[in-house]
Amino acid sequence: MDVPLKKPAPQDAESAEPARRPDRAEAEAAVRTLIAWAGDNPDREGLRDTPKRVTAVFEDFYSGYRDDPTGLLRRTFEDLGSYDDIVVVRDIPFYSHCEHHMVPFVGKAHVAYYPGESVVGLSKLARVVDAYARRLQTQERLTGQIVATIDATLKPRGIAVMIEAEHQCMTLRGAHKHGASTVTTQFTGVFRDDPAEQQRFISLVRSGRSD
């Protein structure tokens, strides 16, 4: 009797072997190919330097691949005094790119945690958001990566993250629903276990807003 072959398990993108990184000349050649495929002449004057500009912009757009988000949180401070309440950094602006269409999604992240034995510099939380946002992403994965990194490094009593973003794959193409926003949240520890703490976090994020 024939034994059916098992399908290989899907490989996790985070653990998969990275593909060989093309050099700059190869990247510029790829941009030239896309310009030609779009229907224009990459050799005309206005487009002649576009491949160089696009590869330079890509280095900025996807600089998160060169960052170590965990390393950003390694320096902590243990002198909390008598403080044992919530720490919230709200309205952290970010831009990212949808991994399905490579078009932008732009929004704000709100990050909160209940300190354990230490706290971290507030700017470092914003830099963790950027380190993950400046990659090819989904909003759901971005939310989870921020939470997982803070949890593994700071080991707080609880974490709350909310991300609000407008996806241009919905506004510029497809459904063309301008103004539609997507909200994702993830909670751990006291935020996950106590709905009142979730509501407190959301109230702190929304306070002072007119919308």
Query: Which residue range forms the structural domain that includes residue 52?
Result: 24-61
The residues that bridge with 188 in the sheet, in sequence order, are 159
CATH for 138: 3.30.1130.10
The residues that bridge with 113 in the sheet, in sequence order, are 87, 159
Residue type, 81: G
Answer yes or no: 100 catalytic: yes
Mean pLDDT of the chain: 88
Answer yes or no: 99 catalytic: yes
The reply to whether 106 and 43 lie within a common domain is no
Decide if 2 is inside a domain: no
Answer yes or no: 178 catalytic: no
Set 101, 164, 166, 168: catalytic member: 101
Contact 136, 176 (CB under 8 A): no
Dihedral, CA of residue 76, residue 81, residue 86 and residue 88, to nearest 10: -50
The reply to whether 195 and 157 lie within a common domain is yes
Answer yes or no: 78 catalytic: no
Distance CA 85, CA 87 (A): 7
Set 97, 137, 139, 198: catalytic member: 139
For 173, list phi and psi in degrees, rounded to 5.
-145, 180
The reply to whether 186 and 89 lie within a common domain is yes
Which tens digits make up the pLDDT trace of 114-124?
999 889 999 99
Answer yes or no: 139 catalytic: yes
The reply to whether 47 and 148 lie within a common domain is no
Contact 167, 128 (CB under 8 A): no
Which tens digits make up the pLDDT trace of 80-97?
888 889 999 999 999 999
Set 28, 167, 186, 198: catalytic member: 167
Q: How many domains does the chain have?
A: 2
Model pTM score = 0.85
Set 26, 59, 137, 169: catalytic member: 169
Answer yes or no: 167 catalytic: yes
- What is the pLDDT, as a whole number, of residue 81? 82
The reply to whether 86 and 164 lie within a common domain is yes
The reply to whether 142 and 192 lie within a common domain is yes
Which tens digits make up the pLDDT trace of 40-60?
999 999 999 999 999 999 999
Set 100, 117, 140, 178: catalytic member: 100
Q: Is 86 helix (H, G, I), strand (E, B) or coil?
A: coil
